[in-house]
Chains A and B, each alone.
Chain A
Amino acid sequence: MAQELNRLKETPSQTAGPYVHIGLTPNFLGLDGIYPVDLGREMVNDKTRGERIDVVVRVFDGTGTVLKDVLVEIWQADADGLYNSPNEPRGKADPNFTGWGRMASDMENGECVFHTIKPGRVPFNDGRMQAPHISMWIAARGINLALQTRMYFADEDAANRVDPVLTRLEHQNRVPTLIAPREGNTYKFDIHLQGEKETVFFDI
């Protein structure tokens, strides 16, 4: 027998279930008085640098029905491309921008609306610049391991065309599933769990 590596295995995932709001967005549910506010609702304040945008996320199941019980978290760089995180080695990010948002989908129309700013560019590991993007994490009933994807911006075509992640996709016809169109200051990002328009999900 060889020596043991003595590493631990990650705790296995289980679905967030239909009652995820109780734990993660209780005020949204009307469960008031436990926490002052739901975490992740306010990403910006009056002093945040950068272009104000709204990101509207919807998630669709394999029948084309919008999910009304989904929870979406987003993580993004500030306007200069810096993350508000202790693991950010390049400098201090805008202290008036959290970079992290959490929204439950509206129980009528399924929309998760994030009031945020457009992120700057962040380098890939080989030094090439990535196109501006927002990391997304999706949890819901019927999703056993939360899904990871990214949203890119349709008005960043030049950057998208040389993005190190987008260009490595074998099936280039799936790239549009990661790109949100812009209308005014709003980007609408529809995530499809299955079907012809199935969004690219990442194992990263």
Chain B
Amino acid sequence: MKNSLPEVRGFFQRDRSWHPPAFAPGYRSTVVRSPQRAPISFPNTLSEVTGPVFGHALLGELDNDLTLNYAKPGESAIGPRIVVYGRVLDENGRPVPNSLVEFWQANAGGRYRHKKDTYLAPLDPNFGGCGRTVTDEEGRYWFRTVQPGAYPWPNGVNDWRPAHIHFSIFGPGFVQRLITQMYFEGDPMIWKCPIVRTIPDERAIERLIAKLDMEATQPFDARAYKFDIVLRGSNSTLFENRKEGN
């Protein structure tokens, strides 16, 4: 008899009480967009544990610099310059290398470059608002941008989004796919936001708040915020030796 765990695969079950519920009426758009029947579970198959991979060759030189990737030559976006960096890990604490991380945000005035955004804060001609990168062998990523502004949105009569950056992350398995938002340490608007407050557990909310890291600051250039992301872990032994990670 082999002295090893049986060959099993699949990701740890998602803790759906940790994530925001589908129906969260404080965020009014959820009311008609939330499924009402219980979701159905079955063991992960190859359809769930496989997923697309995007190589570093995909990336353009300025993809991870939002201050420059939409700017005219010699110009750059307006706003407080920051670097956002961190690691993509799984629930076992292992780094997730080769993970495509995409991000998008409003400009420093709180305005999105989107035809549906009519907020009176002006567009910045040198700021598009999106970027992407792929994690290295240690699961690390970083990008440069400007700190986004807060902005009002139609929900209650006077609801404001705290400054935030949207993130989309891929793991090796398609069911690890995650979209979330990053907030900034010390922002009093976080705790007033109906979208933040769809998350029931305060400890979970704190996981979305990036910390100012003066040691990672680029002197006379940009302050740094650290934001680690955790994807679902796997109990597989099947992929243990694959350098793509779990």
Contact = CB atoms under 8 A, between A and B. Distances in A.
| Chains A and B are bound partners | yes
Interface of A: 6-24, 26, 29-31, 33-36, 39, 61-63, 65, 67, 69, 73, 75, 77, 83-90, 98-100, 122-125, 130, 133, 135, 137, 139-148, 150, 164-165, 168-169, 193-194, 198-204
Given A7-B91, A23-B130, A137-B174, A144 B22 contact: yes
Contact of B231 (A11, A86, A150): A11
B56 interface: no
Contact of B230 (A11, A14, A29, A201): A11
Contacts of A143: 22, 30, 33-34
Contacts of B69: 34
B6 interface: no
Given A20-B166, A34-B130, A135-B47, A142 B16 contact: no
Interface in B177-227: 177-181, 195-196, 198-199, 204-205, 207-208
Interface in B38-79: 39-54, 58, 60, 63, 69-70
Contacts of A19: 104, 106, 112, 114, 116-117, 166
Contacts of B54: 39
Nearest to A150: B47
B227 to A, nearest CB: 9
B35 A9 contact: no
Contacts of B229: 11
A49 B99 CA distance: 28
Main secondary structure of the interface of B (DSSP, over half): loop
A61 B36 CA distance: 12
Given A15-B195, A87-B49, A198-B37, A144 B177 contact: no
B42 A12 contact: no
Nearest to A70: B33
B44 to A, nearest CB: 6
Interface in B66-122: 69-70, 89-93, 102-104, 106, 112-117
B93 A8 contact: yes
A99 B102 contact: no
A199 to B, nearest CB: 8
